[in-house]
Amino acid sequence: MNDSTELHDVVMVGAGPAALAAALYTTREDIDTVLYEKGVIGGLAAITDWVDNYPGFPDGLAGLELADKLQKQAERFGADIRLGEVQKITNTGNLKEIETTDGLVRAKTVLIATGSDYKKLGIPGEEEYYARGVHYCATCDGAFYRDKKIVVVGGGNSAVQESIFLTKFASHIDLLVRGDSFRASEILQQELKKHSDKVTVHFNTSTERIIGKEGKVTEVQGHNSKSKKELSFAVDGVFVFIGLLPNTGFLKGSDIDLDDIGMIKTNESLETSMSGVFAAGDVRSGATMQIASATGEGATAALMIRKYLEPHA
C-alpha cells in the first residue's frame, strides 16, 4: 500500500435500497461515500416487476423505477456509485483495507449491504417466468393472485408461513414438499391445518418444470417419488420458498461473524464483529426481507457510522 491509495470516510458494499438510503444520509452530512455494486444498482428491488407496499406510493411503482429514484437521490447529494466487486475486507486498526476489482481502497468505515438472493429450483421455466408468474416473496406479490390458483414449493418454516399468508388471496394452493414430512415447526404445521380447505399438501413431490403461455404461467409439472407418478397442476403462479443465499461469500475466512446460513451478525447499532464495519438490509441476520425495512436500516446504519466517525475524525 502507498500514499496514493484512495481513502474514504465510508465504503459501501452493494448499491441496493439499504446502501442507497444510507448513502443519502451520509452524503448530506458531507461524509465522503463510495458504493461498489457488482450487479444491478437497486439490487433485488430493481428486478422486481412491481412494488405495491412501499410507503408513499399508493398506486405502487415498478421496482426499476424505485431503484432509479433511490439512485438519483443519493447521487444528487454526492454519492459515488461504482460498478465493481469487493473481494476482501481487512481490518488494519482505524482503517479498513478493501480489495476491489478496481484495486485497493481504504476506508474509515464500511457498510456491507450486499443483500441476499432467493434460492432457485433451477428447473425449466423458472428463470423465463420470473416476476411473470414465478415469485419468491409472498408479501411482495401475493396480492396479485386474488382468487387465483397457485403452487407453493418448499417444506420449511418460510414455505408454510407464506402459504398461510397466501390463503388471504389465492382460491387454492397446492403445496409441494420434496420430503415425506415438513421441516417447519409444529406450531406452524398446526396453523396450516386450519386452512385445509384452501391448501392441499403434496409430500414426496419434486417440482420439475414450469410451463406458460403468452408470457404467463399456466402449469407446474412435478413428480411423486413414492408413487412414481408424474403430476400436473393448472395454476396462475408459483411461489418458491426453499431458502435464501446471502451474498457473503467474500467474507468467508474474515473476522466478520456470520450466522448458520451465512448472514452477518450485528449488534443493536448494526455494527459487525469487526469494529467500524456495519451491515444493513437483507444480508443482515434477522432481516425482514422488505424494501421499506432495508431503507430504514440503511438510514440507521448511516447515523451509526456518523456516530462512529466523530471520535475518529
- Name the DSSP letter for residue 85: -
CA atoms within 13 A on the CB side of 193: 8
Cα(169)–Cα(145) distance, integer angstroms: 6
Contact 9, 26 (CB under 8 A): yes
pLDDT tens per residue, range 148-169: 999 999 999 889 999 999 999 9
**What residues does 264 pair with on adjacent strands?**
258, 284
Q: In which residue ranges of the chain is CATH 3.50.50.60 found? A: 6-117+244-312, 120-240
All 3 cell numbers of residue 29?
A: 452530512
- Supply the mean pLDDT for the chain: 94
Q: Are 245 and 117 in contact (CB under 8 A)?
A: yes
Contact between 41 and 66 (Cβ < 8 Å): no
- Rounded Cα distance, 294 and 307, in Å: 20
pTM for the model stands at: 0.76
Least confidently predicted of 134-143, 207-216, 268-277: 134-143
List, for residues 2-22, the tens digit of each pLDDT value.
Answer: 556 899 999 999 999 999 999
Secondary structure class of 250 (helix, strand, coil)? helix
User: How many other CB atoms sit within 10 Å of the CB of residue 254?
Assistant: 17
- The confidence score (pLDDT) of residue 2 equals 52
Q: What is the largest CA-CA distance in the chain?
A: 69
Amino acid 3: pLDDT: 58
Please say if the pLDDT value at position 313 is more than 80. no
The span from the CA of 34 to the CA of 104, in Å, is 13
CATH of domain 6-117+244-312: 3.50.50.60
**pLDDT tens per residue across span 51-88:** 888 999 999 998 899 999 999 999 999 999 999 999 99
**What distance in Å separates the CA atoms of residue 5 and residue 105, rounded to the nearest whole number?**
6
Please check the confidence at residue 174 and state whether its pLDDT lies above 80: yes
For the chain, give the percent of residues with pLDDT over 90: 84
| Closest CA relative to residue 11, chosen from 116, 87, 68, 124 | 87
- pLDDT tens for residues 182-200? 999 999 999 999 999 999 9
CATH number of 120-240: 3.50.50.60
pLDDT band at 1 (very low <50, low <70, confident <90, very high): very low
Residue 47 — pLDDT band, cuts 50, 70, 90?
confident
For 196, residues 6+ apart whose C-beta sits below 8 A from its C-beta are none
Nearest to 170 by CA among 191, 194, 197: 197
Q: Which residue has the higher pLDDT, 93 or 13?
A: 13
Q: What is the pLDDT of residues 102-150, one digit of tens each?
A: 999 999 999 999 998 889 999 999 999 998 999 998 888 899 999 999 9
